[in-house]
Structure formats: C-alpha cells, structure tokens
Amino acid sequence: MIAGGGERDDAALAARAAAGDDRAFAALMGRHKQWLYRFIRRYVGDGEEAYDLLQETFVAAWSALGSYDAARPMSAWLRRIALNKCRDWNRRRLVRGFFYFAESLDKRAEQNVAVEIGEDDAAESEMKRLDRAVAALPTSLKEPLLLTVFEGLSQRDASEVLGISPKAVETRIRRAKAALTRLMGADSS
C-alpha cells in the first residue's frame, strides 16, 4: 500500500514538515499519493473529482501537521482526512442537486463514459462500472467496504477509523457486497 520507508520515516518527515521543511512534506505526499488517490477515486467514482479531493486532502494535512500524533500511522491520519473530504464532497453534491434541480452528476458522468469507451477497453470499462457502482452505494456501506476490501484494513482498524464496532463493519460489508451484486447486475441489463 505504501511505497518505501516505514511509519518511523513518516513521523520524522512529518516533524520536519511541521518545522517548515517543504521537501519533507513533498516526500510524504509522494509516499502516500497513489494509494490515497485510489481510495478517493473509489469513493467518488470520478477521476477528476478524486484528483481535486486528493489535493484538498494534502492541503488540509499540511495545515493540520501540528496535530499529527507521531505514535499513530501517517496512513491512518491521511485516510481520516481523505474520508472527511469525501464526505464533504458528497454533501456538496447532494445540496447542489437539491437546490438547483441539476441533472444528476452521476448521470452526466455515465453519458460521458459511454461515449468515451470503445470495444477495446472492455477491462477498463468493467473497472469503471465497478467504480460507479461503489460510488453509488450509500455512505454507510461504501466506507467500510472501501477501507477493508480495497484498502486492506482489518475490520477492527476500519471500525476505529469509522467510529463503529467491528461487528457493524462486518455487517455493512456484507450488505455492501449484496448491494454491489444487485447494482452490477442491473447495470448490465
């Protein structure tokens, strides 16, 4: 999940970055940006939105470096910030749709994807279908699924990130998988 170095290296880089070393923060970004982008991409289902949210996550992390606890993994801290940014994005999207009676952003994205995909891109198309299906899940099901299945966290670790019990994580994952099966089946009909 995280390339190179360990949590001790992250803590040292974070301390240097908090002291004003821009290169240390750039090193942290380089170390964590790929897996964090994949996490956000799966949450929102759109690459461009995910890139914007990744930038927002790192801006928020930069401004909150003073509150980073070096005894905890940097990846967990960044994942929490990214999760909050994704939740904010989802709320903004819902508010825009409600107040402006705008056409669903998901519907527009599906139309754009349908035009862009050729027959040669079947595997990529399937991944995009999966990303859209995951993004369409309710937040309460999407978050435990992303953290455990896609990010490889244990149910216990995911429960700590989400602030729910490990049993609730297990139940939500089971429900999310069932919902994905329905969504993917309905999407192919």
Domain co-membership, 71 together with 134? no
Domain that holds residue 188: 120-189
Please report the pLDDT score of residue 119 as a whole number.
45
Q: Are 3 and 88 in a shared domain? A: yes
pLDDT, residue 4, reads 43
Q: How many domains does the chain have?
A: 2
DSSP 63-128: HTGGG--TTS-HHHHHHHHHHHHHHHHHHHHHHHHHHH-PPPHHHHHHHHHHHH--GGGHHHHHHH
Res. 102 pLDDT band, cuts 50 70 90: very low
Instruction: Examine residue 109 and state whether it is found in any structural domain, yes or no.
Output: no
What's the chain's average pLDDT? 81
What per-residue confidence (pLDDT) applies to 113?
Answer: 44
Count CA atoms closer than 13 A to 177's CA, side-chain side.
8
What pLDDT is recorded for position 1? 40
pTM: 0.66
Q: How confident is the model at residue 98 (pLDDT cuts 50, 70, 90)?
A: low
Q: Indicate if 67 and 13 belong to the same structural domain.
A: yes
Report the CATH number at residue 92: 1.10.1740.10
Q: What is the rounded average pLDDT of the residues 153-172? A: 91
Q: Of 46, 73, 102, which one is at a domain's C-terminal end?
A: 102
The pLDDT score that the predictor gives to residue 63 is 92
Tell me which of 102, 137, 165 is where a domain ends. 102
Report pLDDT digits (tens) over 6-17.
Answer: 667 899 999 999
- 88 with 8, same domain? yes
What's the confidence (pLDDT) of residue 123? 60
